[in-house]
Structure formats: C-alpha cells, structure tokens
C-alpha cells in the first residue's frame, strides 16, 4: 500500500501549507484530499510536489506491505 505519511511530515517542516499549495502552486483541493486518503495521484503530481518542497520522492511516499494489496 502506498501511503503519503512522509508528505505530511515534509509539508509540516517546510514553509508551505495546504493553502499555499492550492492557492500559490495551483494544486487542486481534490489532489490534497487524495493525499489525505492515500488515494492514487499521478507521477506528474509527485514530481510537482518534489519540486515545490525541494525534496526526494521518499519524502513524499512510502510503500508498506498490506493485506489489502491485490494478489499478483
């Protein structure tokens, strides 16, 4: 399962906020909601967040094995 827990920690340590991401950087409020609910977001969005927050992908996403993962 992909989780965005690192994103929230990185955001808290930055000078940005969800408000500034929406108003200043033109991210949609639905994207913020998707991050809150650990729903899929595009790699373009992940790239934008890394650029905005000046961080690496591991500062945004984390993979945790889960019983809810689909069988392969």
Question: What stretch of H or E contains 30?
Answer: helix 29-36
- Predicted TM-score (pTM) of the model is 0.88
Model pLDDT for residues 5-61, shown as the tens digit of each residue? 999 999 999 999 999 999 999 999 999 999 999 999 999 999 999 999 999 999 999
Query: How far is Cα 30 from Cα 14, in angstroms, rounded to an integer?
Result: 21
Query: How far is Cα 1 from Cα 70, in angstroms, rounded to an integer?
Result: 10
Q: pLDDT band for 67, please (50, 70, 90 cuts).
A: confident
- Domains defined for the chain, CATH in brackets: 2-63 (1.10.260)
Strands (E), 1-72: 2-3, 62-63
């Amino acid at each position: 399962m992909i989780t965005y827990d690192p994103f929230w920690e990185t955001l808290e340590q930055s000078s940005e906020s969800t408000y500034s991401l929406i108003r200043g950087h033109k991210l949609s409020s639905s994207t913020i909601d998707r991050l809150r609910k650990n729903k899929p977001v595009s790699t373009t969005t992940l790239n934008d967040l890394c650029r905005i927050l000046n961080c690496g992908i591991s500062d945004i996403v984390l993979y945790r094995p889960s019983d809810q993962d689909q069988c392969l």
